[in-house]
Structure 1
Amino acid sequence: MRSENVWGRWYKPQVRIFIHIVFWLLVTALYYLSLKRIGGDYVLYIVLKDLLVTGSLFYSINWIISKWVSKGKLAPLILFILFAYIWWISWTYCVWVLIEDFVPPSDERVSKYMHFWIDGGYFGLFALQKHPIFILDFLLLVSVPLAPKMVKVIVEDKNKMAVLERDKLELERDNLAMEVAFLKSQISPHFLFNTLNTIYQMSETNNPKTSESIVRLSHMIRYLLYQTNDDKVLISREVKFLQDYLTLAKLRFGPGTKVYLNFENTDEPYKIVPLILIPFVENAIKHGPERSRHDSWIKMSLKLDENILRFNISNGVNRISKRPGFGGIGIQNVKRRLDLRYGVDYSLQVKEEEDSYSVCLEIKL
């Protein structure tokens, strides 16, 4: 993903070169005017030395910050500062040696400062008593050109990190949409397999409600094909889907299975992620009527309380029949979808007792 800002659009190579030329002319003028007041032909030597040192540091600090500091590695920056300090000391010593040989200063204060540098030779520069003065001079010298440079580099690096983070979030959203679509595709075949098996058994016994069941199934397939592609659907449509599904399930298991439904305020214009509830219904059937059709029961309620959806479903379990573990691919998928789509705006409680299973789901819409 490509992101551009206003700075990147107008800061062309030609503009950059022009700005750098003007910048270094101003720095040169500042260095020269600050030294000219003490006079002497040696001023030009010092100015050229200062430009050499600060220029080399100026164009290398960008690489140091981008390559190391932006990644949280401060050791290379510390080494760079140490190298820059030694680099400045070395060049300053050489320039003062040249000044003494070719244009010795007549000003007593300048001469004294020069001998402070060169007396004791190069290695005498590293005497501890000299460094407080050296460090102060070094900071005053490099602060003028390097301070704005470092600010610019840090701001640009932060902007790059912000763009990368934004692109990362966009990629995560795309992956999220793909994952939700994949999870939804796993639900549909699982549901259709159970429903088609129900209608097949009804047709084998010439059940008079077969045609009605086929119509219900066609409505459900239409819902799956054309409405669940939306990011969210009206709760009333999801409720109609659940009602059709349970009607077919009840026909399959016969009068021995009791189904109790209670829906309140489902006509409110709130929306929900499609097919987010059906896995709980399938699971209730799997643990209830499919294990034992004798005196089995399912209770389901769905209520809208302002912007809170409260969904409860429970089913009886035969104590004698072997009980499979609660869950399966459908429940795993729906938990994943709830995490992806609602995050912290939902709560799910699953309760398993000796003779019943129950699920309580609340979603902030």
Structure 2
Amino acid sequence: MQLRIKHITYHILFWVVVTASFTISEWGYMHSFKGALIYELLVLPSRFIAVYINWFILIPMFLYKNKLLPYFTILILLLLVIAVGHRYFVLYWGFPKFFPQWLVGQKIEPLAFSKIIQVVLIIISPVAFTTGFKLFMDWYKQRRETEVLKQEKTNAELKFLRSQTNPHFLFNTLNSIYGLALEKSEKTPSLILKLSDILSYTLYESNTKLVLLTKELKLIENIIALEKERYEKRVVIDFEVSGETEGIKIPPLILVPFIENAFKHGLKNEVKKGWIKVNIEVHNNELSFKAENSISTQEEENACGGLGLQNICRRLDLLYGENKKLTIDKTNDAFRVDLTIKLQQDEA
């Protein structure tokens, strides 16, 4: 109800402004503000009818359906009919009542072609303005709706990708704990506590749009601790963090899949000693992440072949687009990930 009243108010204000503008313009010719106002009020019904027939009928039925020839044909005929009606209205009622001096010695010709064209030109200006305004507003509304739908689609896809990432991540972590439990390791209870922290993070923190980088780093440290206990002397890990990490926010679980990948594919079924190097740096409003690991004998062909990496590649595209640079490279002896993210205003 309030929205309807608001729209009606806007329309009333529009006609007040239009009438006032034409009155001021006509005042310069008539040298009488009262006479100019009365003259414009006599024209107002014709403008009103033309504008709203065009607004509510012709534009939706013809213009929006790309029927340009029927639209302009009917619009011109409409203006001519209204102009003729206006001529009869002012010559037989308006002018005799308010401007009788204009008719003294004048022959009344309501169908005079030049006069009808003159009336059409008087009526057409608000019709043209409101047509342009309606086209712009409807385009803007459609654009906003398209952007909202696009954003909703992106958010739904991100949520779906994240929902896949969490079980995938937990599956790998539980496998690590399971391996230690089979060996009846004394470290299993403490590692279960770390797993509890990891579960808390994935259940609560990962459902938010952004998390503190320090929390993500703590999660990575817990993952490395779990995997280090699992592989023991089979892996050498070099993990370094530099730069101003405090207060920086990033999407949750955006770095974890690369860490997982380094352990899963770098040491899977590998009997010899492997190595993993991870370097994270924040500098000049950019987050730089570099991960490098030794190659397993059963490394996969496609760099983004695993579920975790497929998801993270897609998530990075959706979240950052051109504001990120991701390079995944594999040589005979190493697998490298180099990611640079330009931190957004609400992330820095």
1:1-365 alignment runs, 5 A limit: 4=3, 8-10=7-9, 59-62=52-55, 63-70=57-64, 74-80=68-74, 83=77, 139-265=117-243, 267-318=245-296, 320-321=297-298, 323-327=300-304, 328-365=306-343
Query: Cα distance 1:80–1:180, how it changes in 2: closer, same or farther (>3 A)?
Result: same
Q: Deviations over 1:304-355 (max 9, x none)?
A: 113110000111114x546443222211211222122223221111112222
Q: Report SS of the residue matched to 2:270.
A: coil
Q: CA RMSD in A?
A: 4.1
Whole-Å separation in 2 of the counterparts to 1:173 and 1:66 = 28
SS of equivalent residue, structure 2 residue 302? coil
Residue-pair matches, total: 307
Identity of aligned residues (%): 29
2-side partners of 1:188 and 1:313: how far apart? 21
Compare CA radii of gyration and give the structure with the larger one. 1
Distance in 2 (alpha carbons) for counterparts of 1:276 and 1:193: 17
Deviations 1:182-225 (A, max 9, x none): 22111111011111111111111111211121111111111112
Structure 1 contact 261–299 (Cα < 8 Å) conserved: yes
Change (3 A) 1:322 1:216: closer
Structure 2, unaligned stretches of length 5 or more? 31-42, 86-104, 344-348
Counterparts of 2:186 and 2:166, CA distance in 1: 27
The amino acid of 2:272's aligned partner reads H
CA gap of 1:247–1:76, structure 2 versus 1, over 3 A, is farther
Q: Distance in 1 between matches of 2:83 and 2:285?
A: 71
Moved more, 223-232 or 163-172: 163-172
- The code of the aligned residue for 2:303 comes to F
2:303 and 2:232 map into 1 onto residues whose CA distance is 24
TM-score by length of 1: 0.69
Give distance in 2, aligned partners of 1:332 and 1:3: 49
Identify if the C-alpha distance between structure 1 residues 233 and 140 changes in structure 2 by more than 3 Å, giving closer, same or farther: same
**Counterparts of 1:315 and 1:248, CA distance in 2:** 17
Secondary structure of the residue that 2:207 maps to in structure 1? coil
AA matched with 1:79:
T
Q: 1:79 to 1:300 in 2, by over 3 A?
A: same
Task: State the alpha-carbon separation in 1 of the partners of residues 119 and 80 from structure 2.
Answer: 14
| Counterpart contact for 2:277–2:291, Cα < 8 Å | yes
2:239/2:279 contact within 8 Å kept:
yes
Counterpart AA for 1:64: L
Taking the aligned partners of 2:187 and 2:203, their CA distance within structure 1 comes to: 24
55 and 228 in structure 1: CA distance in 2 versus 1, 3 angstrom threshold: closer
